[in-house]
Amino acid sequence: MKKWFALLLALVMSLSLVACGGSDTSTDSSGDTGTDSGSESPTKMTLILRGGAYGEVLEACLPAFEEEHNVDIEVLLMSFDDLHTGIALDAVNSTGTYDLCMVDGSWMAEFTANGVLANLSEMGYSFDDDIIEATTTICKVDDDIYLAPYYGNVTVMMYNKQLIADAGYAPEDITTFEDLMDIAQKTKDADSSKNGFLIRGGSADNILSDFLPHLVVHGGWVVDENNQPTVNTPEFKAAMEEYLALYKLGSTLDKDDIVASVTAGETALAQIWPGWYVPTADGPANYTTIPTKLNDSDTEKNVALQGVWCIGIPNNAPHKDLALELLEYVMSPQVQLESIEHDAVPCRYSCLTDPTVLETYPHLETVCGALETGVYRPVIEEWTEFTNILGTEMDNVIQGTKTLDEALSYAQEQLEQLMAG
């Protein structure tokens, strides 16, 4: 990844010099704090955020800040891959385009190693005790904070209320992966046109991320304590075989079609992220925590995968001081609480345990528990390329173009080469 990032930066820098003649006419990046004077033109700020609910929630909170600080904020909502690329490409400029960026935790090691993100601790930012501690671990290097956990994304198990009842289960009965298989099988046996379980496809990242809880519950992981690949293992094979068995009782769809299928009563179960769907008390679907055991005799494991969307300030942000004020504003308890009305999932206890909130959004109690115990993807600079290699080989198995042994053997070899540099 270091090599890729260096080549990317070198390419973009050369293009920038051609386009700009090597000159730097940028404005001061540290002293602009906006103004409350209505007679002055508003300060222009630009945010680059994840598209969908994650970025839209933050965008909905901005008008009050814009008015108070006399700023005009442009929001760019990007796909997962385009967001990563956009942040990386802009990092080569002496003064960047973006004042605030939304960052997936899996990019943290890559971005901090390459100086993309500002050190928030050095800027005076700190976490308070109200923020769920498990969501902050991905945000720090040693004791230095580089990101703030904004949207509490964590894997949960979506279910159709009627179909799991038809299979003889209440939500609280779904405690093992054997239960998932039993519900999926009974649903398929009762009506072959229905799906027992849906898997998300569409990209290597989707496939690998959604698979990781299944790997953890089988006692496996993708790297060892030295960050060396561990994919061609009995644990990985067992988890993949179980995943394939669930796939045979359903199908692969994108996230919107997964939600539509479960709510329409066409599918019993699907692993989702809270940003995809907000349950209602009288709605046809809800979600619960992902089971923590393979079977009743197994020991419990922390299996929910953290996918918290964080916010940070690029090191070359054009208005760093103002960006810090904005970050503190959107992370404040009151703004976080108000954001729930826009389908946000804050990483604050005060928001996720508020009795009034839970009356309307009872699913947030499930999310809070999952956030407290969730696990992160490995914090390694090579994770993006690691994901592409492994997720692609897993898709080859799902599509039937390679056997499981062939795919995992090849993935292990390629990943060892990647990690060796």
| CA–CA distance, 258 with 272 (Å, rounded to integer) | 8
pLDDT value of residue 33: 53
Nearest to residue 291, comparing CAs of 261, 271, 266, 267? 271
**Above 60 in pLDDT, residue 12?**
no
Q: How confident is the model over 325-364, as pLDDT tens digits?
A: 999 999 999 999 999 999 999 999 999 999 999 998 999 9
What is the rounded average pLDDT of the residues 71-95? 96
| CA–CA distance, 47 with 102 (Å, rounded to integer) | 8
What is the rounded average pLDDT of the residues 264-293? 92
pLDDT band for 11, please (50, 70, 90 cuts).
Answer: very low
Percent of the chain with pLDDT over 70: 91
pLDDT value of residue 32: 56
pLDDT value of residue 421: 82
pLDDT value of residue 40: 86
pLDDT value of residue 38: 52
Q: How confident is the model over 85-122, as pLDDT tens digits?
A: 999 999 999 999 999 999 998 899 999 999 999 999 99
pLDDT band for 201, please (50, 70, 90 cuts).
Answer: confident
The strand pair at 309-312 and 148-151 is best described as antiparallel
What is the rounded average pLDDT of the residues 223-238? 97
What is the rounded average pLDDT of the residues 9-20? 40
What is the pLDDT of the chain when averaged over all its residues?
Answer: 90
Q: In what order do the strands lie in the sheet with 148-151?
A: 71-78, 43-50, 100-104, 309-312, 148-151
Counting beta carbons within 10 angstroms of the beta carbon of residue 282, is it exposed (0 to 12), middle (13 to 18) or buried (19 or more)?
exposed
Q: At what angle do helices 53-60 and 62-69 cross, to 10 degrees?
A: 40
Q: Please, what sign has the CA dihedral across residues 334, 340, 344, 349?
A: positive
| CA–CA distance, 385 with 107 (Å, rounded to integer) | 11
Is-contact 103 148, C-beta < 8 A? no
The number of CA neighbours under 13 Å toward the Cβ of 74 is 8
Q: Match 């569409």 to its residue by tokens.
A: 202
| CA–CA distance, 29 with 314 (Å, rounded to integer) | 11
Alpha-carbon dihedral angle through residues 320, 323, 324, 327, given to the nearest 10 degrees: -160
Q: How confident is the model over 149-169, as pLDDT tens digits?
A: 999 999 999 999 999 999 999
Lowest mean pLDDT among 145-149, 298-302, 308-312, 404-408: 298-302
Q: Position 261: which residue type?
A: S
pLDDT band for 202, please (50, 70, 90 cuts).
Answer: confident
pLDDT value of residue 275: 86
Walk me through the domains of the chain, giving residue ranges and CATH numbers.
20-153+308-373 (3.40.190.10), 156-305+382-420 (3.40.190.10)
Cα end-to-end span (Å), the chain: 8
pTM of the model as a whole: 0.83
Rounded to the nearest 5 percent, the helix, strand and coil shares of the chain are 50, 15, 35
pLDDT value of residue 410: 98
